Amino acid sequence: MSTRMPASPADTAVVRRLKIHVLRYNPQDPASKPHLELFEVDEAPSMTLFVALNDIRDRQDPSLQFDFVCRAGICGSCAMLINGRPGLACRTLTSVLGERITLAPLPFFELIGDLSVNTGKWMRGMSERLEAWIHSSSEMDLRRLEERMEPELAEQIYELERCIECGCCLAACGTARMRQEFVGAVGLNKIARLRLDPRDQRTDADYYELIGDDDGVFGCMSLLGCQDVCPKDLDLQTQIAYMRRKMLRAAVFSGR
């Protein structure tokens, strides 16, 4: 009589061998040409693309470039094209993907190398163009900075502040592909957030100066790729539609 114990599910689970194709290119190296490079990785339980890419860098190619800071969907630095769709590598489980995975850098942003792009430079430039900070000039305004805010309003502002500036919305936006200066859903969301804030003393006419053109709210063609891919599930469609109505109104009232 056999004394062998029946195999547990863990014993019989088949480990997948992932075939990860990475778009490699170093724009600093004149000899470098864009090409897909295949790396094979044994999948581990609860593996994310962050873990898989680190495995590749540790064991196969230390020169592979990609960005991670928080590993928790907070810093926005690990956004890339995952099978052609913008997403966060640290929040993407390999188990939701097929065995063959293709990774490429986010389009639209300056390429640093391989999967690393300079989203920070573009975001800084956009924030400066939109003056995306609270404008409170007089002493009285400064006192208002300390005033208590209604919880409902604070909640609304907090909801829009959840943006992590990952750049996925721009990578998924047809307008952004055509207009490098387009502020995108991320920029329009910033203005919507400031507009809600009673500490920002600017009027709709002031906001119109910043986003009342084709690089702003009138450049949006309601393609909604931004909303589809936003990893924070922000209701960008509603914010953009609301800002468009407000800016149209501002234009009518100012006789533009």
* Separation of first and last alpha carbons in the chain: 92
Beta-carbon contacts of residue 153 (< 8 Å; ≥ 6 apart): 196, 198
Q: How far is the CB of 192 from ligand SF4 (least distance, A)?
A: 11
Question: Residue 136's CB: how many other CB atoms inside 10 A?
Answer: 17
Which C-beta is closer to ligand F3S: that of 82 or that of 168? Answer: 168
Q: How far is the CB of 52 from ligand SF4 (least distance, A)?
A: 22
Q: Report if residue 166 touches ligand SF4, rule: CB under 6 A.
A: yes
Q: How far is CA 90 from CA 53, 149, 232, in A?
A: 10, 35, 13
Q: Report if residue 189 touches ligand SF4, rule: CB under 6 A.
A: yes
Q: How far is the CB of 183 from ligand F3S (least distance, A)?
A: 9
* Residue 70 binds: one of ligand SF4, ligand FES, ligand F3S, none (C-beta under 5 to 8 A by kind): ligand FES
Q: Report if residue 130 touches ligand F3S, rule: CB under 6 A.
A: no
How far is Cα 10 from Cα 16, in angstroms, rounded to an integer? 13
Q: Which amino acid is at 126?
A: M
- Angle formed by the axes of helices 184-196 and 204-211, to 10°? 170
What is the helix (H) or strand (E) element at residue 160, kind and residue range? helix 151-161
Q: Which amino acid is at 236?
A: L
Q: Report if residue 187 touches ligand F3S, rule: CB under 6 A.
A: no
* Residue 57 binds: one of ligand FES, ligand SF4, ligand F3S, none (C-beta under 5 to 8 A by kind): none
* Residue 239 binds: one of ligand F3S, ligand SF4, ligand FES, none (C-beta under 5 to 8 A by kind): none
Q: Report if residue 243 touches ligand SF4, rule: CB under 6 A.
A: no
What would the x/- binding string for ligand SF4 be over residues 75 to 114, using CB under 6 A? Answer: ----------------------------------------
Phi then psi for residue 150, to 5 deg, are: -60, 135
Q: Out of 24, 190, 195, 232, name the contact with ligand SF4 by CB under 6 A.
A: 232
> Would you state the structure tokens that stand for residue 150, as one six-digit string?
């209604």
Q: Which residues bind ligand FES (CB under 6 A)?
A: 68-71, 73-78, 88, 90
